[in-house]
Amino acid sequence: MTLALAVGVAALALLPLGYITWYTADLGWDGVRELVLRPRVAELLWNTTRLVLGTVVCCAVLGVGAAWLVERSSVPARRIWHVLLVAPLAVPAFVNSYAWISLLPGLDTYAGALLVVTLSYFPFVYLPVAAAFRGLDPALEDTARGLGLSTWAVFRRVQLPQLRVALLGGSLLVALHLLAEFGALQMLRYPTFTTAIYDQYRATFNGPGATMLAGILVLLCLGLLLAEIRLRGRRGYARTARGAARPVRPVDLRGLTAPALLALGALVGLALVVPLVSLGYWMTSGRAATFEWAALTTTTGTTLALATAAAAVTTAMALPTGWLAVRARGRISTLLERSTYLGSSVPGIVVALALVTLSIRATPWLYQTVPVLLAAYAILFLPRAIVTVRSAVEQAPPLYDDVASSLGSSAPDRLRRITLPLLAPGIGAGAALVFLAVVTELTATLLLAPTGTTTLATAFWSASSALEYGAAAPYAVIMVLLSAPATVLLSRDARRGLTP
């Protein structure tokens, strides 16, 4: 029974990939060539590629530099800086874009897009690299300094090679998020594959052009996944000696303390203060003062209801996969688990496009209904629940279940009285992560939400697209407030390892 459920979950996760593959094969080589080998596609490929490369490089530089200052230098208030450097994750990228473009309309260029997405995504590199710094044994660094290497040489020859896995993982997250990003780039009027797919969908309602662009986007995502695996390699970086690592001795910045504080302050100011100041400005503007707060209450209620339902459904779907991954280790369980990760790597607009087509052709009565929208959320956010559920199963001893079974307890009774209580912390954490992700999800919701259903993200999008920045601000503020707990959770454990 558990295996059958896990197979069903994996099939749902791979549905968008299967749809793209089937549609491409059905169209034939001539049709694919006609739709793909066009100047417009080459332009989109150039725009997308240079933005991804530029953003990954900028985020890597900012993330590694900030992590080194916080984890290895004598910069004051390191614990506070850590929280401030994680805080930009509470501001969705499309809200950040709105904050900048509403203040500086001339940012609709490549440089403007690079600035906004870099400020939105650099914490994806900072977090894993900072965690990797905390896991390094400083004995190697002390030995290198004892041999006469400078601080820069120690970083380049000792620390950076050990940060390889974390840096590649964070860069992969940045690239995948950027390939899937729609709202921020559409608002900045910077054309990429994601914005072009949406425009094609609006113009032709699921024409073959949109599907072929989605196919190219999927290939780019798969290429990134394979490249990360290739670059990461199989080299190990863990300590093998016994005993605890010696305490870290921060590098004394001396005269560079002021420039370091200025650099951190500028980064936090651009990534966090500017969006918050912009939101505050538009909240106090005339249009926000005449805002219909009843509509905000209704929209918030709808968003919370959808997020709650999505969290419950997605976490329930994660249970069989997470259970099998631990209790029945093997190739099949591993394949089923990895299938959910592969499906979630597909951009939200591709998932929505696939579900639109399949629901219209196979089950027309389900088109633009809540179940289809919940299915999209599940495909996109399943790994967030599976990771926490699997961790909980790892920590739950199977002995209790075996003892209950030997005493004659039925399977449903063991599930209710033993298994679920033991897994409750992991289930709750996974549900919370899915809930917060759904609150700020925009792309799939725009295409799949039932007629008349408005969420905080779609209401914000409607108002900001109409250049009603004051009317959009309250929705953005609520999304930021609802996203803030995730930021606290992300930074809490890391703070414990830092000195003030």
Question: What pLDDT is recorded for position 414?
Answer: 63
For residue range 370-395, what is the model confidence (pLDDT) as tens digits? 999 999 999 988 887 887 777 677 66
Higher pLDDT, 272 or 241: 272
List strand residue ranges (DSSP E) for 228-364, in order. none
Question: 3-state SS of 172-209?
Answer: HHHHHHHHHCCHHHHHCCCCCHHHHHHHHHHHHCCCHH
Residue 498 has pLDDT above 70, yes or no: no
Question: What pLDDT is recorded for position 237?
Answer: 52
For residue range 307-338, what is the model confidence (pLDDT) as tens digits? 999 999 998 888 888 878 777 777 887 788 77
1-18+291-466 in CATH: which number? 1.10.3720.10
Domain locations along the chain: 1-18+291-466, 38-191+470-499
Q: Which residues contact 71 (CB under 8 A, 6 or more apart)?
A: 78, 130, 133, 134, 248, 498
Residue 54 has pLDDT above 90, yes or no: yes
Q: Which two tokens stand for residue 124?
A: 């994806």
How far apart (Å, rounded) are the C-alpha atoms in residues 102 and 112? 13
Least confident range from 127-141, 347-361, 401-415: namely 401-415
Q: Do domains 1-18+291-466 and 38-191+470-499 have the same CATH topology?
A: yes
For residue range 206-236, what is the model confidence (pLDDT) as tens digits? 567 777 888 888 888 888 877 877 776 655 5
How far apart (Å, rounded) are the C-alpha atoms in residues 426 and 406? 26
For the chain, give the percent of residues with pLDDT over 90: 19
Question: What pLDDT is recorded for position 387?
Answer: 75
Q: Locate tokens 């100041």: which residue?
A: 277
Cβ–Cβ under 8 Å, residues 434 and 385: yes
Element (H, E) at 116: helix 110-121
As a whole number of Å, the end-to-end CA separation of the chain is 52
> Among residues 138, 116, 130, which one has the least CA distance to residue 64?
130
Residue 410 has pLDDT above 80, yes or no: no
Question: What pLDDT is recorded for position 330?
Answer: 78
- Residue 296, SS3 per DSSP: helix
Question: What pLDDT is recorded for position 499?
Answer: 43
Give the model's confidence band at 398: pLDDT under 50 very low, under 70 low, under 90 confident, else very high.
low
Higher pLDDT, 443 or 140: 443
Burial 452-467 (b: 16+ CB within 10 A, else e): ebbbbbbbbbebbeee
Question: What pLDDT is recorded for position 385?
Answer: 82
Cβ–Cβ under 8 Å, residues 296 and 478: yes
φ, ψ at 251 (rounded to 5°): -75, 125
How far apart (Å, rounded) are the C-alpha atoms in residues 357 and 207? 10
Residue 242 has pLDDT above 50, yes or no: no
Question: What pLDDT is recorded for position 307?
Answer: 92
Residue 116 has pLDDT above 90, yes or no: yes
Q: Which residues contact 308 (CB under 8 A, 6 or more apart)?
A: 435
Q: Which residues contact 292 (CB under 8 A, 6 or more apart)?
A: none
Question: What pLDDT is recorded for position 273?
Answer: 92
Residue 497 has pLDDT above 50, yes or no: no
How far apart (Å, rounded) are the C-alpha atoms in residues 423 and 416? 11
Question: What pLDDT is recorded for position 205?
Answer: 59
Least confident range from 221-230, 297-306, 412-421, 491-500: namely 491-500
Supply the mean pLDDT for the chain: 81
38-191+470-499 in CATH: which number? 1.10.3720.10
Least confident range from 20-29, 38-47, 110-119: namely 20-29
> Among residues 247, 236, 260, which one has the least CA distance to residue 67?
260
Question: What pLDDT is recorded for position 295?
Answer: 84
Q: Which two tokens stand for residue 156?
A: 């380049």
Handedness of CA 313, 448, 41, 182 (dihedral sign): negative
Q: Which two tokens stand for residue 264?
A: 């951190």
Give the model's confidence band at 361: pLDDT under 50 very low, under 70 low, under 90 confident, else very high.
confident
Mean pLDDT (whole number) for 79-90:
88
Rg (CA), the chain: 24
How far apart (Å, rounded) are the C-alpha atoms in residues 31 and 272? 46
Residue 7 has pLDDT above 50, yes or no: yes
Distance of CA 406 to the CA centre of its chain: 44
Q: Which two tokens stand for residue 370?
A: 């809540």
Residue 266 has pLDDT above 90, yes or no: yes
For residue range 152-163, what is the model confidence (pLDDT) as tens digits? 777 777 777 777
Mean pLDDT (whole number) for 163-185:
85
C-alpha distances in Å from residue 222, one per residue of 125, 179, 204, 225, 323: 20, 11, 27, 5, 27
Least confident range from 56-65, 110-119, 319-328, 449-458: namely 319-328
- Residue 251, SS3 per DSSP: strand
Mean pLDDT (whole number) for 64-75:
87
Handedness of CA 415, 421, 422, 424 (dihedral sign): positive
How far apart (Å, rounded) are the C-alpha atoms in residues 440 and 476? 9
> Among residues 266, 267, 258, which one has the least CA distance to residue 73?
258
